Structure 1
Amino acid sequence: MKKILFALIVLGTLTGLVHAQTKVQVLSTQELVTTCKLPASPESRSFCVGYTTAIYDTYLATRHPQRAKPYICVKQPAPSRDEVVADFVTFAQTNQQTSDKPAAGVFLGFLASRFPCARK
């Protein structure tokens, strides 16, 4: 029994090392811009809206209001998703230095500049 347990631990450790060395590909800003450019196919539009909405939803869900002041404040009525995505595409195209950066971080930076919170 001890030999089987030891073998499972060794196997699990080796598997973990292999996975730890695997490079995780993240979506670049350029890849997101290419997908989000208009006119977009229904599939591209769905991916673009879903991806950007997930980024914003993750920001909302993970920001602790007592420990981290908000830096993205969307006033109501909010602009349409298509309008925000089109503005992001323009933003990314005018800031070419962000093209190879992870799309999620650049999109959050765009949202912070597009929807800044009021200074108190």
Structure 2
Amino acid sequence: MKPFRITLLTISLTLLLQANAYSQTNLPKNDASTAALVDLCKNPNDMDARNFCFGFGEGIYQAYLASRNSKQKPSICFTSETGTREAILQEFLTWNQSNPQFNQERAAKTLIRFFEAKYPCK
């Protein structure tokens, strides 16, 4: 029984120590700036980071929908022809290159600004 416990303990410790090896991206702590988001989202090979970016953008849009005044005309309108989330992310990264003045602002505020500029309601 003792060899079994030693083996189990060894395997458990090995797996525990390996958990950090799978981390793909080191995020700066407490940095919610546009520059940090762009830096995270620009690598097409880091799928974990890309998925975070897709979820972050969706969350910002859903928060906009939930908090906007329903008596006022919406300022952001996505249509069925808008494109894929990958296309929207690429548009955001391109737009950000043309608008670096927003890099130190909160990423959520900049995303709303981007959505309003690229997907205004008509």
Total equivalences in the alignment: 93
Shift of residue 97, structure 1, vs aligned partner: 0.8
Identity within the alignment, %: 34
| Higher-RCO chain (CA-CA 8 Å, sequence separation at least 6) | 1
Deviations 1:50-73 (A, max 9, x none): 11110001111111211x320001
Q: Residue in 1 aligned with 2:74?
A: 70
Output the amino acid matched with 2:41: C
Shift of residue 78, structure 1, vs aligned partner: 2.8
1:87 aligns with 2:87: no
Q: What RMSD, in angstroms, separates the aligned Cα atoms of the two structures?
A: 1.3
Q: Secondary structure at the match of 2:73?
A: coil
TM, length-normalised to structure 1: 0.72
Q: Residue in 2 aligned with 1:28?
A: 33
1:52 aligns with 2:67: no
Q: Which runs of 5+ in 2 are unaligned?
A: 1-29
TM, length-normalised to structure 2: 0.71
Shift of residue 113, structure 1, vs aligned partner: 0.7
